[in-house]
Amino acid sequence: MRTDPTVVTAADVAPEPWTGRDDGPGPEHLRWHHAVGLDLAGAASCDAALVGFRSDEGVRRNKGRQGAANGPRALRRALASMALPSPVRVLDSGDVEVADGDLEAGQHRLGRVITPLVDRGRPVVVLGGGHEVAYGSYLGLAGSRAVREGGRLGVLNLDAHFDLREDARPSSGTPFLQMARSEELRGQRLNYWVLGVSQPSNTERLFRTADELGVRYLPDTECGLLGLSRVDAFLDTFLAGCDVVHLSIDLDVLPAAVAPGVSAPAAYGVPMEIVERVCTRVAASGKLAVCDIAELNPDLDVDDRTARAGARLIHRIVTSGGAPSRPA
Ligand SMILES: N=CN[C@@H](CCC(=O)O)C(=O)O
Ligand SMILES: [Mn+2]
Ligand SMILES: [Mn+2]
């Protein structure tokens, strides 16, 4: 069944107009707030789409520090005044909101919003929300034409954690195990790669689960600038083995000084230079279908550092789909 790329599904909460600093007219003054449209009817012609996932429920169930439901608003605010090197058109589709603790229903609604956006053939950026956002994104991707028609799905998680917990209820600690189980149901093995895994932040049980599932990972200690060739080789192999990429960015992959506004800040972390390079290369591959920005908790942020770091990664991803007109 083919979906009409001009027909998209409305989110729970309509998007609000974007505002920000304005230095004058013309492309030389272009900023994000100029480039964002809210009209779903214009979805087909956009270079990228945004959708927010206002959810704290996964972090609450995972015994973390709550506040991620306000992440989408903080990310939009941090993006609004960023300068654009060349014109892009971005659709803001609004937010899916997890209400009354019903995370599972929210993840399915998110999936239904994402599928037609993915079918436009341009990246969808999902603004979390706790990392439970990733399973909703997966549901959207699994329903997309590219995956249903046999495209090989690859999931790359930039994270200090595996998020492969075997808990009774879905949470921010379980999304990739949920994906693995869903893939098993359609006779597939989840092609799951993690960059930035912190040994002290994952029990031996989680490492064992990762090994049993055939997960490929690079520890944070191998993701510094001295490990650049290892990171590049890891990414090359990942990209060569898939056609459709789900990039999931848990901001706690970054050092705590760069990303203090997360439930579990990283004592070590992967440098911003590396994380940004990985994002840029994935976007430039032309295979990126969905990218989550997860775990931003504005209540815990310092000078909007984490929101700005997340926004910068989104900026790089959206402006790296084609040839950038300024050096990255
Ligand atoms: N999404 C976060 N997942 C981590 C949280 C760890 C923590 O709160 O310390 C996990 O479950 O391992
Ligand atoms: Mn994490
Ligand atoms: Mn995570």
CB hemisphere CA count around 148 (13 angstroms): 13
Residue 241 gets which letter from DSSP? T
Q: Work out the average pLDDT over 66-85.
A: 98
Checking if the pLDDT of 277 tops 70, the result is yes
Distances in Å between the Cα of 8 and the Cα atoms of 111, 117, 134, 308, 318 are: 12, 7, 20, 29, 20
| Mutational pocket test of ligand 1: of 165, 263, 268, the residue with most ligand atoms within 8 Å of the beta carbon | 263
pLDDT, residue 324, reads 32
- Is residue 221 situated within a structural domain? yes
How far apart CA 281 and CA 265 sit, in angstroms, is 25
Q: What is the model's pTM?
A: 0.96
At 37-57, the pLDDT tens digits run 998 888 788 999 999 999 999
Cβ atoms of 263 and 297 within 8 Å: the answer is: yes
pLDDT, residue 3, reads 52
- Is residue 54 situated within a structural domain? yes
Whether residue 173 has its Cβ less than 6 Å from ligand 1: yes
CA terminus-to-terminus distance, the chain: 39
- Is residue 220 situated within a structural domain? yes
Calculate the average pLDDT of the chain. 95
Query: How many domains does the structure of the chain reveal?
Result: 1
At 78-94, the pLDDT tens digits run 999 999 999 999 999 99
Q: For ligand 1, atom 7, name the residue with the nearest CA.
A: 264
Whether residue 315 has its Cβ less than 6 Å from ligand 1: no
Range of the domain at 95: 27-319
- Is residue 3 situated within a structural domain? no
| Burial per residue of 19-48, b for 16 or more beta-carbon CB atoms within 10 angstroms, e otherwise | eeeeeeeeeeebbbbbbbbeebeebbebbb
Cβ atoms of 274 and 319 within 8 Å: the answer is: no
3-state SS class at 53: strand
Whether residue 61 has its Cβ less than 6 Å from ligand 1: no
Q: Is the confidence metric ipTM above 0.90 for this complex?
A: yes
Annotated binding site for Mn(2+): 131, 159, 161, 163, 250, 252
pLDDT, residue 1, reads 46
At 285-295, the pLDDT tens digits run 999 999 999 99
Which CATH number does the domain housing residue 256 bear? 3.40.800.10
pLDDT, residue 323, reads 38
| Mutational pocket test of ligand 1: of 163, 205, 251, 295, the residue with most ligand atoms within 8 Å of the beta carbon | 163
